[in-house]
Each structure stands twice: as C-alpha cells, then as structure tokens.
Amino acid sequence: MASVLTLFSVYLMLFSTSCFTTINGVFSEQFPMDISTKRMEKLTRLHFYFHDTLDGTNPTAIRIAGPSKRSFGTIMMSDDPLTEGPEASSKLVGRAQGIYAFASQHDIGLLVVMNFAFLKGMYNGSALSILGRNPILDRVREMPIVGGSGVFRYARGYALAKTVSFNQKTGNAVVEYNVSVLHF
C-alpha cells in the first residue's frame, strides 16, 4: 500500500501544475483556448461549379447500392470535378469526393457526405467537409460545412447549391456552389 501511495505522490508532483487530466481512464491533455491576433478567425467565400456525370465512358458518379426500381435507398459514389465556370472545359479547382444517397420517400432529398478537395492556388491540398440534406428540387439548397483540413482546419459554415443544368435522360447535372466558411 505504501508503494501505491508513493507512486500516487510522484504522479501528483509531476502533473499537478500542468493541464493533464484523466477521463474514464484515458489520459488526455487539455489546453486553454487562447486565440492570439496571429490566429484570427477568417471568413472565406468560394464560388465554383460541380459537374456530376452519370453517363458515358468516364462517369464521375456511379451507383454503388440500392433498389433497381426506385430512387429511395440508392447510394452513389462520386469524384466530380469542381470548376471555376459552368462549362466542363472551365479551369479545374478541385474535386467533390464522397457519397450521396436518396434518403427521402416523400421527395427527392439526398443525404450528402462529401469532401470538396481543392487542387489549385492557396487552397491546394485543403478540403471542406459537407454532411447534410440536399432537397435537389428546391431552387437553392443550404448544406452545412462541418469541418475541413489544411487551410480550412476547424472550418464551419454553409454551402448554397443551385442547379444550373440537369439532363433528365442522362442524370448529368451542373450545380453552382456559393460557400461561406469560417476557419483559422
């Protein structure tokens, strides 16, 4: 028993002045949030176009699961180009990589789990993450930005999506995105 108390005393001496704590037996380190002027939160606004291509020899979105006779339950995997303009030939700025699923039985509402991975300029190597509902028949849809990486570390914000063109025969779509994101 004396050795346990001695170890406990050493533990208290070593760690009593730091910000370490034990939670449910897991050792973790806590830091007080001190935001200096060098790490001011920024608001960034991005504007780009998303090209979802389901047909042809090189589709950018494919069906990976779901029933064959109805949309509800269908899950799509995508690696869609993000461009500066609405034309497919416009300058590539990134890729929309993730999953969207037809999650509503009452309207065409998608569950979107997507990363916007940027490939050019000051955002090269950075990404924004979306997780939310996309009711695609609405003129403008709002989806939450729930995180990010690189330049967009600790990101939060929203994305406004507006369909520019949709081909009912092929399912191909071009969607305009206006994104507002807060990050450090």
Give the pLDDT of residue 38: 60
Query: Which pTM value belongs to this model?
Result: 0.79
pLDDT per residue, tens digit, the chain (184 aa), is: 555 444 444 444 444 444 444 455 555 455 555 555 566 899 999 999 999 999 999 999 999 999 888 889 999 999 999 999 999 999 999 999 999 999 999 999 999 999 999 999 999 999 999 999 999 999 999 999 999 999 999 999 999 999 999 999 999 999 999 999 999 8
User: What confidence tens digit (pLDDT) does each residue in 124-147 have?
Assistant: 999 999 999 999 999 999 999 999
Please report the pLDDT score of residue 88 as a whole number: 93
What pLDDT shows up at residue 8? 46
d(CA 79, CA 51): 9
